[in-house]
Amino acid sequence: MAFLQSLSLMFFCIKPDKWTKFSGTEENKNLVMNFFNTEDIMILVLYINNAGLLTASLGFPASVKTKGVYFVKKKMVRITPENIRDSLSVGDISNSPVEQLLTVLEEVVCTLFTNTDNMTTWPQVVSEDVVKHAQQLKNDVFVFGGQLKGKALLALPKIADDLEDSDEESDRYDSFDGATLHAIESVVIDWTHQVKDVLNKDSAQALLDGLNPLPREEIDFWDLRLKDLKCLHEQLWMPKARKISEVLEKSKSSYWPALKSLYYDIRAGLEEASDIVLYLIPLKSLIDELEQTEYSEVSRITLGKGQKCGNN
DSSP 112: H
pLDDT band at 312 (very low <50, low <70, confident <90, very high): very low
Check: CB of residue 174 under 8 Å from CB of residue 251: yes
Report the distance separating Cα 135 and Cα 183, nearest Å.
Answer: 9
pLDDT at residue 175, rounded to an integer: 54
pLDDT in tens, 12-27: 777 777 778 887 788 8
The residue with greater pLDDT, 114 or 34, is 34
Kindly tell me if the per-residue pLDDT of 169 is higher than 50: no
Check: CB of residue 131 under 8 Å from CB of residue 114: yes
Report the distance separating Cα 306 and Cα 288, nearest Å.
Answer: 17
Whole-model pTM: value is: 0.66
Kindly tell me if the per-residue pLDDT of 31 is higher than 50: yes
The residue with greater pLDDT, 296 or 194, is 194
DSSP E strands, 27-158: 43-48, 54-57, 68-73, 88-93
pLDDT in tens, 238-284: 988 888 888 888 888 889 999 999 999 999 999 999 999 999 998 88
For the ranges 25-29, 53-57, 134-138, 303-307, which has the lowest average pLDDT? 303-307
CA-to-CA dists, residue 37 to 34, 46, 110, 220, 285, angstroms: 5, 17, 39, 54, 63
pLDDT at residue 193, rounded to an integer: 92
pLDDT at residue 166, rounded to an integer: 58
For the ranges 49-58, 66-75, 101-110, 159-168, which has the lowest average pLDDT? 159-168
Residues 6+ apart with CB under 8 A from 32: 1, 4, 23, 44, 56
pLDDT at residue 267, rounded to an integer: 94
DSSP 175: G
Listing DSSP states for 124-174 in one string gives: HHHHHHHHHHHHHHHHHHHHHHHHHTT-------TTHHHHHHS-GGG--GG
pLDDT in tens, 58-79: 887 776 677 788 888 888 888 8
pLDDT band at 7 (very low <50, low <70, confident <90, very high): confident
The residue with greater pLDDT, 220 or 309, is 220
Check: CB of residue 240 under 8 Å from CB of residue 163: yes
**50-67 per-residue burial string, b: 16 or more CB within 10 A, e: under 16:** eeeebbbbeeeeeebeee
pLDDT band at 228 (very low <50, low <70, confident <90, very high): very high
Check: CB of residue 64 under 8 Å from CB of residue 71: no
pLDDT in tens, 123-134: 888 888 887 888
Listing DSSP states for 199-251 in one string gives: HT--TTHHHHTT----THHHHHHHHHHHHHHHHHHHHHTSHHHHHHHHHHHHT
